Amino acid sequence: MCGIVGILGRHEASPILVEALKRLEYRGYDSAGLATVNDGHLERRRAVGKLVNLSDLLVREPLAGKAGIGHTRWATHGAPNLANTHPHRAGPVAVVHNGIIENYRELRAELTELGTGHSTDTDTETVALLAQHYLEAGHPPREAAMRTIARLEGAYALLFLFDGEPDLLIAARKGSPLAVGHGDGEMFVGSDAIALAPLTERITYLEEGDCAIIARDSVEIVDENGNIANREMRRIEIDPAQIDKGGHRHFMAKEIAEQPTVISDALRHYLTEDGRDVVLPGTGVDFAGIDRMVLVACGTAYYACLTAKYWFEQLAGLPVDVDIASEFRYRHPPIPDRTAALFVSQSGETADTLAALRYASGRADSLLSVVNVPESSIARESDVALPILAGAEIGVASTKAFTCQLTVLLLMALRAGRDRGKLDAEALADRLSALRGLPAILNRVLARDSEFREAARALAEAGNALYLGRGLMYPLALEGALKMKEISYIHAEAYASGELKHGPIALIDKTMPVIVMAPCDALFGKTVSNMQEVMARGGRVLLITDAEGAQQQDDGVWRQVILPQVDPALTPILYALPAQLLAYHTAVAKGTDVDQPRNLAKSVTVE
Ligand code: F6R
């Protein structure tokens, strides 16, 4: 979603702003722009498309000034054209915004009545026009911004820059994250710590409803009630290696390759020194004291939750409901007593997941979260936040965050099994021992990259693809299809294998590749029957299985990928790799924008 940066600096702001916006590219965007105050005057440059277009424009038409704001826009209101590109300017004020102003139509009507016209389709322009209105009514910039903010409904991170005010930025947060960075005699603002990473490590996160009045050497934060607020300044160290491609062609390739390492990190964090038990930090989680869990998330994180349902139910005898956050939050489901609610989110800022957590607050016995960003809103509003320790994930398509989410969820399910008397100490230690061996196995699979590239070359010709799986492989099939469609734009769907005959089999013909994920487990024979039904109708089956599965079924399949045999509970983490690699190589073969697929945003901070 939109990226925001701001600087009151000691050097020319434009190049620093563009670099900071580059670090936010991963969030997804379709146009970009800057505004600065130079010699007391506001000026701006904007360009549609990638940041390189803005950089080229700045070569032709430089933008001087040491105070400035910048924005990458992911269109919500209005097409991604120049008029709608931020910053939006109304006379003496420029504004950048992430989020949605829900009452902009009412505000716009009010301004129209006062004779103020609009020149864009955006909700953000209304914010700039409203601020201009208050400035023209004689309010100083700070007061004008505060009055404007007080009129807004919806979700926003906002940054204001004013004509004649080279030492003032005003930032506001409600629903979309914003961080203030402290330099020496300079100040920065960014949508996240990654944007500010090389500029400063000293970061203050604004809280919901906060407004920050920023000068070059100070910041005053006012909370939603208008009181001065003391917000903690933290040191956020981001390893620069995490935000470059480290020799890989794409961030996604780098992040796929990092999985054995980050999963090992997560295991080290959660296992006792002897590796025989799981320690959940914070106040701990009382699995013996609950009767059920509800797991809520969006997208890939939702598929991690679906996988965890099998684990919690099978390993711990704990009933689990899984819900899509955008459905959960508006369905107002009853939450019975002795229920723990668990929210899974890489970014920790997904608007629907955060709203679902707020709904469950006060209703569920405890609010747990599994997040990658420990300073995120979801982490901060949970009773217990378990980090997945995947490191910064820049590729829009989630890969290492997914397998780290799975790792932490499996550890939770194992711990729950122990707490609820379903697993004895020996059985737990055996499972953990298998899990500790998994990163080495993942490395062996990653070394076979060319096999996946080869299979993907054939998949790239397809217009549609079907993924099938049973049991723990069903959520994996869903994740495989999601990865395929989001980065290769091939229409891919996933079904539980047993559902095939209830409709989707009508789609099968010889042009349809069917990716079947089936380790040789208790359900293998059933999946093979479904596969036969596909092959009998001319469908081309790509079977992902293990050596035993391959031995039992090698007739008539189009292609096979043979993975190492592992403890059945670990198969989702292992089978995630072929799902990711097939999608990645298919996208590369098709020449799509792997790290920033069209229309997608990394952190979905609006509904
Ligand atoms: C797909 C993907 C998305 C996210 C979803 C939730 O590859 O990345 O489906 O999983 O937008 O995002 P988080 O986990 O940040 O809540």
Ligand 1 centroid vs 346 CA: distance in angstroms?
7
Give tens-digit pLDDT for 212-225: 999 999 999 999 99
Instruction: Please tell me if the CB atom of residue 520 comes closer than 6 angstroms to any atom of ligand 1.
Output: no
Say what the alpha-carbon torsion angle 92, 98, 104, 105 is, to the nearest 10 degrees: 120
Task: Give yes or no for residue 403 having a pLDDT over 80.
Answer: yes
Instruction: Please tell me if the CB atom of residue 604 comes closer than 6 angstroms to any atom of ligand 1.
Output: yes
The number of angstroms, rounded, from the C-alpha of 105 to the middle of its chain's C-alpha atoms is: 30
Q: What residues contact 22, with CB distance under 8 A and at least 6 apart?
A: 51
Instruction: Please tell me if the CB atom of residue 326 comes closer than 6 angstroms to any atom of ligand 1.
Output: no
C-alpha separations of 443 from 248, 263, 488, 547 in Å: 16, 11, 25, 18
Instruction: Please tell me if the CB atom of residue 605 comes closer than 6 angstroms to any atom of ligand 1.
Output: no
Share of the chain above pLDDT 90, in %: 83
Give the span between the Cα atoms of 492 and 227, in whole angstroms: 52
Give the span between the Cα atoms of 146 and 131, in whole angstroms: 9
* Residue 515 near residue 467, CB atoms below 8 Å: yes
Say what the alpha-carbon torsion angle 222, 375, 305, 360 is, to the nearest 10 degrees: -30
Q: How far apart are the first and last CA of the chain?
A: 11
Ligand 1 pocket: which of 194, 255, 346, 386 to mutate (most atoms <8 Å of CB)? 346
**What's the pTM?**
0.86
Ligand 1 atom at shortest distance from the alpha carbon of 401: 14
Bridge partners (DSSP) listed for residue 310? none
Instruction: Please tell me if the CB atom of residue 301 comes closer than 6 angstroms to any atom of ligand 1.
Output: yes
Catalytic residues: 2, 602
Give the span between the Cα atoms of 110 and 125, in whole angstroms: 14
Give tens-digit pLDDT for 478-487: 999 999 999 9
Instruction: Please tell me if the CB atom of residue 398 comes closer than 6 angstroms to any atom of ligand 1.
Output: yes
Between β-strands 187-190 and 3-8, what pairing exists: parallel, antiparallel or unpaired? Answer: antiparallel
Instruction: Please tell me if the CB atom of residue 500 comes closer than 6 angstroms to any atom of ligand 1.
Output: no
Q: Report the range out of 75-84, 151-160, 172-181, 398-407 with the highest average pLDDT.
A: 398-407
Share of the chain above pLDDT 70, in %: 99
Shortest-distance Cα residue to atom 5 of ligand 1: 299
Shortest-distance Cα residue to atom 7 of ligand 1: 397
Give tens-digit pLDDT for 71-94: 999 888 888 899 999 999 999 999
- Max distance between CA atoms of the chain, in angstroms, equals 81
Asked whether the bond before 281 is cis by omega within 30 degrees of 0, the reply is no
Ligand 1 pocket: which of 604, 605, 607 to mutate (most atoms <8 Å of CB)? 604
Give the span between the Cα atoms of 467 and 132, in whole angstroms: 54
Instruction: Please tell me if the CB atom of residue 345 comes closer than 6 angstroms to any atom of ligand 1.
Output: yes
Phi, psi values for residue 138, rounded to 5°: 100, 5
What average pLDDT is seen over the chain?
94
Shortest-distance Cα residue to atom 3 of ligand 1: 299
Phi, psi values for residue 291, rounded to 5°: -105, -20
What is the pLDDT confidence band of residue 138, given thresholds at 50, 70 and 90? very high
Shortest-distance Cα residue to atom 11 of ligand 1: 299
Mean of pLDDT values over 192-199: 88
Angle between helices 400-419 and 425-446 (to 10 degrees): 170
Ligand 1 centroid vs 474 CA: distance in angstroms?
18
Q: What residues contact 450, with CB distance under 8 A and at least 6 apart?
A: none
Mean of pLDDT values over 385-395: 93
Which DSSP symbol is given to 569?
A: G
